[in-house]
Amino acid sequence: MEKKQGFFSALKEEVIRGLSPVRSRSKSPAPARSGSPMKAFLRRKPKLLTNGETLGSLTGETLAPLYEGPDQDGSELGESKRVGSAIGQWMKVQLSRAPSMGCKPRSDLRLLLGVMGAPLAPVHVSTADPLPHLCIKDTPIETSSAQYILQQYTAASGGQKLQNSIKNAYAMGKVKMVASEFETASRVVKSKHSTRAADTGGFVLWQMNPDMWYVELAVNGSKVHAGCNGNLVWRHTPWLGAHTAKGPVRPLRRALQGLDPRTIASMFADAKCVGEKKISGEDCFILKLCADPQTLKARSEGPAELIRHVLFGYFSQKTGLIVHMEDSHLTRIQTIGRDAVYWETTINSSMGDYRPVEGLMIAHAGHSVVTLFRFGEMAMSHTKTRMEEAWSIEEVAFNVPGLSTDCFIPPADLKAASFSEITDLPKGERGKSGLVVAGHRAKVAALGQVQLFI
């Protein structure tokens, strides 16, 4: 109990003094992000525990500013000389490690980060909206069954009263990503020694009501960060800079993977129960959610038209918790003088290792399999790319004192024009497909590979 109290005491001091941008921005008139939550956690001095591990605690001394941008030695991210907790030290290594190809990440790492870095949920969800009450009269059986399943999920994950008491949340975890397979009409190339070839890293996620979130993901020396201030969603990558997402404000999909029970229940509030299925030996109810035509139209741009976006949630009949999620969307690209090309993206995620955190049941581990399938033009021109991600949650905290809305201010260099949901890979990999995607910077999609801000 003393160790737990010590952590949250240190966390409180960290947020109030070191993390909150209110303090760091007080002397700066510009609304730019001056420091990230991840960097604040990487600047803690170690406090030795009985088991030899370290737990960060704020020392009260003045912290030197961290350098952002490419280092002189070629690494993409600035390296602080300070050390933090055992987890913070490990994540610091991921942040400061030089990419394998000079200052720029490899093309397959760009693909991994572009697709799995910060995908979004299919529809807008607000934590301010009340959950629907169970109604049987004059309600289709598919809808009333879904409402009943969600009530069971809410009860199993901690109860609605406890969920409504959560004003903000923090989570930190580790990730491992790999592009495991690439298929064309003539051959299939599988990644050999995929365990050793996997890129490892970590992420930090902050959330705050209403509808605000911020995430940083650092893998093999490259960092993607994204956020939402309640009015717009943005993402920043080293190769594209900062840009906004098309369409309505939507939650971060990573938070739906067992980390945010309140948003999960709200997401499936209008879903329908479409059957049952056994997942990993566990009987589950299936809830289906589809993006409406207005949302699809708002997320389309130029020659890229989003045709459908469907989300399936698999809720355990035994525990009531969500254990699997399937996210699938189809995009049609029609350029002048060419046949239409279709991109189908499917993300299958399994969640497990549920443990109580302050009364809420939180998934502490999971695995995702992403498939990018490109078809159209000629019958023999299809390509399929398979990627995998495994993650684990190391730290979770709720109602963190001192967290303010300033933590979710968009970057100062945010582009006014938005990118479409399909953007390109590096210039060196442009070519054969020649698919032009609208945006304030016209891009050409690479053959068989595409990055999605979905």
The whole model's pTM is what? Answer: 0.73
Sign of CA dihedral 404, 419, 412, 115: positive
- Given a contact cutoff of 8 angstroms between Cβ atoms, the answer to whether 171 and 259 are in contact is yes
| Residue that the structure tokens 């949250």 belong to | 8
Q: From the centroid of its chain, how far is CA 441?
A: 24
What is the predicted pLDDT for the residue at 204?
96
Could you give the CA distance from residue 366 to residue 322 in angstroms, rounded to a whole number?
12
**Mean pLDDT to the nearest integer, 109-129:** 87
Could you give the CA distance from residue 371 to residue 386 in angstroms, rounded to a whole number?
5
**Mean pLDDT to the nearest integer, 27-48:** 44
User: Which is higher by pLDDT, 412 or 250?
Assistant: 250
| Residue that the structure tokens 């581990």 belong to | 365
Class of domain 109-452: mainly beta
What is the predicted pLDDT for the residue at 66?
29
How does pLDDT run across 321-353, given as a tens digit for each residue?
Answer: 999 999 999 999 988 888 889 999 999 999 999
For residue 2, give every residue at least 6 positions away whose Cβ sits within 8 Å of its Cβ, in sequence order, or none. none
What is the predicted pLDDT for the residue at 22?
41
User: Does position 430 have pLDDT exceeding 90, yes or no?
Assistant: no
SS (H, E, C) 206-267: EEECCCEEEEEEEECCEEEEEEEECCCEEEEECCCEEEECCCCCCCEHHHHCCCCHHHHHHH
Could you give the CA distance from residue 219 to residue 99 in angstroms, rounded to a whole number?
9
> To 5 degrees, how large is the angle CA 63–CA 67–CA 73?
130
How does pLDDT run across 130-149, given as a tens digit for each residue?
Answer: 776 666 677 788 988 999 99
Parse the chain into domains and list their residue ranges: 2-64+75-97, 109-452
**Could you tell me which residues are beta bridge partners of residue 385?**
182, 372
What is the predicted pLDDT for the residue at 380?
64
Q: Which helix (H) or strand (E) holds 143?
A: helix 141-156
How does pLDDT run across 166-204, given as a tens digit for each residue?
Answer: 999 999 999 999 988 887 767 777 766 555 678 899 999
Could you give the CA distance from residue 149 to residue 424 in angstroms, rounded to a whole number?
40
Residue 9 phi/psi, 5° resolution? -65, -45
For residue 64, give every residue at least 6 positions away whose Cβ sits within 8 Å of its Cβ, in sequence order, or none. 80, 81, 82
Q: How many CB atoms lie within 10 A of CB 161?
A: 9
434, two tokens: 């020649």
**Could you tell me which residues are beta bridge partners of residue 324?**
314, 350
- Minimum mean pLDDT among 54-58, 245-249, 309-313, 436-440: which range? 436-440
